[in-house]
Amino acid sequence: MKPQVRNTKQKTCIQKIFQEAIGPLGISEIYALASKDVKGIGLATVYRVVGGLVDSGEIKKVNIPNAVEDVRYERSDTALHHHHFFCTKCNKTFDLTKCPMASDLNKFVLPGFKVDAHELTLYGLCANCHGKK
Ligand SMILES: [Zn+2]
Ligand SMILES: [Zn+2]
């Protein structure tokens, strides 16, 4: 049995943030969103709650290479194979619904090689930032 994590107002608030997230969140984003809901929530509390949710397997760490915050978090139950889009203007990360690399990647490697996995992050401007130009 997993240790019971105390069900605090802070934890409920951060769980809700992850329910509504459209992509992986960095600590500063979680902190900003949580501050709107729970007045006076501290950054240390956000770290502690996020750490607890990682330990219980509810969320997991995602690495977004070259992003402002390259360590982000997303819900484990939505973590089926997918990729991310990073907006270089607002620094938000979005989930992609389809894998653009679904074709047989073995044809791109040297003879005798076998591909087991791949990673892909797309970079650019989200609709919001693109429209503001
Ligand atoms: Zn953006
Ligand atoms: Zn893929």
Q: Using one digit for the tens of pLDDT, what is the confidence trace for 60-75?
A: 999 999 888 999 999 9
Ligand (nearest to CA of 91):
1
For residue 51, report the distance from its CA to the centre of ligand 2, in Å: 27
With a threshold of 0.75, does the pTM exceed it? yes
For residue 132, report the distance from its CA to the centre of ligand 1, in Å: 9
pLDDT digits (tens, 9 = 90+) for 15-29: 999 999 999 999 999
Ligand (nearest to CA of 97):
2
Q: From CA 108, how far away is CA 110, in angstroms rounded?
A: 7
User: Which ranges of the chain would DSSP assign to H, the alpha helix?
Assistant: 9-20, 27-37, 43-55, 127-131
Instruction: Mention every residue, 6+ apart, whose C-beta is less than 8 A from residue 126.
Output: 85, 87, 89, 90, 92, 94
Nearest to 90 by CA among 130, 30, 120: 130
Domains of the chain are 9-131 (1.10.10.10)
For position 3, what pLDDT does the model report? 47
